[in-house]
Structure 1
Amino acid sequence: MNYVRTGLLLAGLTALFGAVGMMIGGQQGMIIALLFAAAMNVFAYWNADSMLLRMRGAKQVDDRTAPELVSMVRELAQNAGLPMPKVYVIDNPQPNAFATGRNPENAAVAATSGLMQLLDRNEIAGVMAHELAHIKNRDTLTMTITATIAGAISALANFAMFAGMFGGGRNENNNPLGGVGMILVAILAPLGAMLVQMAISRTREYEADKIGAEICRHPMWLASALNKLDKGVHAIPNMDAERNPATAHMYIANPLSGKGVDNLFSTHPSMSNRIAKLREMAGAPQSGAAAPAKSGPWSGAAKDRRVRRRPWN
């Protein structure tokens, strides 16, 4: 059902683009704006992963520098039927993680130092499984397509603003509202595109939770992790994400200092809704805090809570 919803939202975004383009510049203006936006996003598609990792100061780890974390990701990738992604650690106190890469063959997962300090071994496995689910579902490709169309709408909106302010000439024939209509389109069209982008992002998070729970085989591991992350991200700001909020949708938890509610202007579903769905998958009661499973391939190292081994030590 989430795939159908994502497809419908993409179709709606495409229809919005077509309508705005025809109103402003006819077929020629629509094609020019699309080509311009596509060129920018093709560059981003091939380079955004490395650019993002550099921006966040991510350091790649391997079997020598973080053997347990890398081994965990390798086993989860095998469960998911995926190639082994690159693994990165980011020195940031806010607990969070994200996945990037244009396809499963060129993918990476990154976790912050704050996440690894806050969560136990099973919970980290749940988070890594969620990020691998994004890779498996090719969500980065979906968001690239979305960004291309939204970028084209923004380009058309900028043209509409200038046309509305300085006179639309023959383009007003395509817009029955004239200059006022051009300005309205310039304001409302990007807003509509942003809302659709956020709706798609929220839909993909629900799906990644579901597939991630299947990959790690314990929905309660991820539910327990989300419960802790919900508190952690609100307590500790992520200044890197605040300076560049356009990448907020990539994280497992919204890194921005906003309200974690499931509304039109949120890039993520509310944590309570996500946890409830995972508890339902596990057949657990819907009240009380999420608790990690008692057994599993990584639970042995977490039995003694007095000394908790970490996969990055």
Structure 2
Amino acid sequence: MKKFLRYILVAAISSCIIPFSSCSDDDENAVNEWNMTYVSLLPTNYLKPIQTVTLDHFTGKEIEGTVAMDVMATIQKAASNDITVDISATCEGISSEKITMSSNKAVIKAGSTKSEPVSISITDWSDIASVSEAAEYTLNINVAGIESVASDVVLSDLHKSLSVKIQKKEEREEDLLFFGKAPENSTLNTDITNWVFTFMDGVENAAANSVNGKGGGDVATNGTPFWLTVDLKEVKNVTGIQTSHWGGGYCPTKVEIFTSENGSSWKSMGQVATSGAYHDIAFKYTVATRYLKYQMIEVPSRVDITKFYIYTAN
């Protein structure tokens, strides 16, 4: 009797286990959130944050700056078939024709977990050339669709788009003067004997001074900004200037540089802040000119200049 009861108990337990095992196998084969293949859109250099792009806007010139982003489509596990990911890129204020894409499809090959990079860039900013104030734009890169024969391939909710912030500076005059460094690949010209200097009326020692090489005294005023011009006698490829003063307390704190083709009509290269007894001012570009004008803008109660030299391109 005990043996009979034991057989009944074993049979009952077996009848319970078999259906349970069958259900477990079905769960493993069923498509669910744990075994789906998720497609993500990532920068190729995804370990670094996406940098904000800054655009310069100088008066009379095209907006300067480049947006360049390499992206790729990825999956967390290799698939047995190719997966094609459609990519779109838009930027408010910028027409689609100005957005360059190496391809609008990123293909994840069978057996791989990522696609080849897709390059997206903007270099033509003519659509916003009339915007003079500072402005912000966003380049949005999105997954537009997925092409796959597998039913378990879906788009990740977390990584389906990328954004590149773009900040355009306010339109301004270009910075052409840089204080505190000698221009590269240049020679300092200190032979002033063939140059002709002209000084603003009212300065001390206008006829004979250390600037024009005809005297030992400086050119100075008591707190009045003054100018000087120099005729180099021939056109030279000027890359900057150097001036010297009795001391840091006697130098201008802001100056403006001009060039001229004829010695009477002057074109400003801009203003630059200065300090110290010796001033190196580099030009952004080499300027072919015969005439230069040096104008003090802001000065202390006593201001002077003892030397004026020019840098020319080697």
The two structures share one fold, judged by TM-score above 0.5: no
Q: Quick one: higher RCO (CA 8 Å, sep 6+), 1 or 2?
A: 1
| TM-score, scaled relative to structure 1 | 0.21
| TM-score, scaled relative to structure 2 | 0.21
Larger radius of gyration: 2
Please state which structure has a larger fraction of its residues in strand.
Answer: 2
